[in-house]
Homo-oligomer: A and B are copies of this chain.
Amino acid sequence: MANCLVAQSGGPTSVINATVAGVVKANQMNPYYDHVYGGLNGIEGILNERFVDLTEMSDDENRILRQTPSSALGSCRYKLKRDNVADFEKLFAIMEKYDIETMFYTGGNDSMDTVAALSQYAKEHGITNRRFVGCPKTVDNDLMHTDHCPGFASAAKFIATTALHTWLDVNVYTRQEVFVLETMGRDAGWLAASACLSGVVDLVVLPEEAFDKEVFLNEVRRCVEEKNKCYIVVSEGVKYADGTYIAAGEAKNDGFGHAVLGGAGNAIKNMILENGVAERCKVQDLSTAQRCFASGQSKVDVEESFELGMSAHMRSCDKNFTGKMVGLKRKDQPQYDVDFFAIDADQVANFVKSFPSEWILPNYRGISKEALAYLEPLIVGSPVVIYKNGIPAYVKPYYMR
């Protein structure tokens, strides 16, 4: 017998903890591992032996953990570089010290690269008793091969609901109004596109297409002329044909080589006002809340994230199961359902799945029926939220204890 370790990396989502809850629950159903350790702050904390023991988590805590957004184990932006031999040696030594047979790592494509690199290192060094399993999470929904990523659907549901409710708000006066909702989405437009689920979006600007200012402003003009209002959704990562972000003034770098964006909404507002397309324009940047506001989780999303953690645990009982990511495959049938499957993590690492260009309607006029048919089943259902004095109950982050 041996132990396992579960850790989280990258940006939080509102259901990322459900995967951890799933790993823990699966081990309670089949105690394959003596201990389920939680590694704090991803690889960064693991390298410093910062562990908590989650093995005996109560059912109550497990339930509340699933409605607690953000990474309860903490996260990191630390990237295990393939040429940093010292880190690899240290990590394997720590795994030996704590008798950790399997490490589950939830994250985006950087994390899948970590899973691929570690299993490759083990293979190259003839280490057969250490396994590495990736679990996808990212609000951006930009991982390859999996039908979608846990975390995306709840963010999509929040964005679509906020679009509907702010649209209801912005229409109440008879005066002219242009409203711009800015969503996350560095390279992929999934989040911005999901606002169209509200059925009220006039124009949506995605990063998959080079931004054409003239065409866009003409569309805003048409909309304002037709109904004195225009509801616009824009992804933070929208670029001109020459590759510069429309929010270029604000671009920075996050240390991973990714640009830190923000301000696409204001860029849109400024060009509308400066070109006299409308007299007024309001911007709402959904910012951090869109990835962590968990009162409106999608039930499908929470359950899939939980079950994905269970599936990862179950599969890891096979001693050859390493360097894999567990993903979701949509069943080819009218009623929505998924199968879990596994794929080599290096097929996921460092790729980006864009919003399909054939799903984008011309002239920023929204997304196709096929796109809506893909998105709709993901946001269905709302879990029963457990409240404490009017505030959603939550599990105190393990890294704070």
Tell me the A residues contacting B by CB distance below 8 Å.
8, 12, 14, 41, 44-45, 68-71, 74-77, 157, 160-162, 164-166, 168-175, 179, 197-199, 282-289, 291-296, 298, 376, 378-382, 385, 387, 389-392, 394, 397, 399-400
Contacts and interface: CB of A to CB of B under 8 A. Distances in A.
A69 B169 contact: yes
Contacts of A77: 173, 175
Contacts of A376: 389-390
A141 to B, nearest CB: 15
Given A157-B390, A174-B41, A298-B390, A293 B385 contact: no
A166 B68 CA distance: 11
24 contacts: A14-B165, A44-B174, A68-B168, A69-B169, A70-B169, A70-B171, A71-B172, A74-B173, A75-B172, A162-B293, A164-B394, A165-B392, A168-B292, A169-B288, A169-B291, A197-B391, A282-B288, A284-B289, A285-B287, A289-B289, A296-B296, A378-B390, A379-B390, A380-B387
Given A162-B293, A380-B389, 10 more contacts: A8-B172, A41-B173, A45-B174, A74-B171, A161-B295, A165-B295, A285-B285, A295-B295, A298-B390, A381-B387
A350 B42 CA distance: 55
Contact of A74 (B172, B294, B394): B172
Chain copies in complex = 2
B293 A168 contact: no
A3 to B, nearest CB: 24
Nearest to A284: B287
A12 B169 contact: yes
Given A284-B287, A390-B157, A292 B74 contact: no
A343 B378 CA distance: 49
A392 B161 contact: yes
B69 A390 contact: no
A74 B298 contact: no
Contacts of A45: 174
A387 B383 CA distance: 12
Closest 10 CB pairs of A and B: A379-B390, A70-B168, A169-B292, A75-B172, A70-B169, A380-B390, A284-B287, A165-B292, A295-B296, A71-B172
A197 B390 contact: yes
A75 B173 contact: yes
Nearest to A13: B169
Contacts of A378: 390
Nearest to A166: B288
Given A70-B168, A71-B172, A198 B41 contact: no
A299 B124 CA distance: 60
B174 A74 contact: yes
B296 A173 contact: no
A235 to B, nearest CB: 18
Nearest to A198: B391
Contact of A379 (B168, B380, B391): B391
B289 A166 contact: yes
Residue from the set A76, A283, A296 with the largest chain B CB neighbour count within 10 Å: A296
Contacts of A295: 161, 165, 295-296
Contact of A168 (B168, B179, B397): B397
Contacts of A74: 171-174
B174 A69 contact: no
